[in-house]
Amino acid sequence: MANRYTDVDLMILKRWDEVKALREAFDDLLGRIEDVVEASLQKVSTTASERNLSSDLDLKRPSIWFWKREWETRKKEPGIYIEVSDFVPVDYGKAVEDCPSMWFMTDEFSKLKMRESSEDFGRAVRAALSPELLTKWSHEDADLSDSPLGRDCTDVSESDRVRLVAEPGALGKFVIDRVDEFMELVPAIDQALQKMTHR
């Protein structure tokens, strides 16, 4: 049990009112960051729509996901989709990971009403990729049942993420660039889906 204050503790105690005001200002800033992130992702959704991609977003996590019309259920919901997440600073929320990530998600595959399982589909997509792409998109947390391919953007630092939320145009460009990167997987995804549809 600590019975002495650290130098930082003493500094905070001496500047108690200032630190309290700074903490309140920080909490207010987090609310405004959410507004900026939402506006940026809405613009990204518009850009995605122009590329014939549907999209949806979650501000709490935060994440945005995209899908082609051919990947939809009859109810216009995604059966499979690509997801970009964790592009905000860690202090934005409890669920933010250490770096942005990109995943191909199949957790809603059963809604496509196919005989094959999401695991079968995940295997088929991975088999359709070139060895280079398979290496690039293999992730230690990949799971054939719901997330067969993924990548972490380990080159994006925490200060980079602060810059992204400080510059809304930069955030939108970052997300669209990740979507463009995902496009290299689409031929394999479509090939695997087409094979299963025509069986």
- Per the model's pLDDT, the better-predicted residue between 10 and 81 turns out to be 81
Percent of the chain exceeding pLDDT 70 equals: 98
Domain ranges of the chain: 7-197
pLDDT, position 197: 75
Other C-beta atoms within 10 Å of 131: how many? 7
Nearest CA-CA partner of 178 in 41, 70, 52: 41
Integer CA distances (angstroms), 90 to 30, 58, 93, 192, in order: 11, 16, 7, 36
Give the confidence band of 196 by pLDDT, cuts at 50, 70, 90: confident
**Mean pLDDT, residues 168-181:** 93
Give the confidence band of 161 by pLDDT, cuts at 50, 70, 90: very high
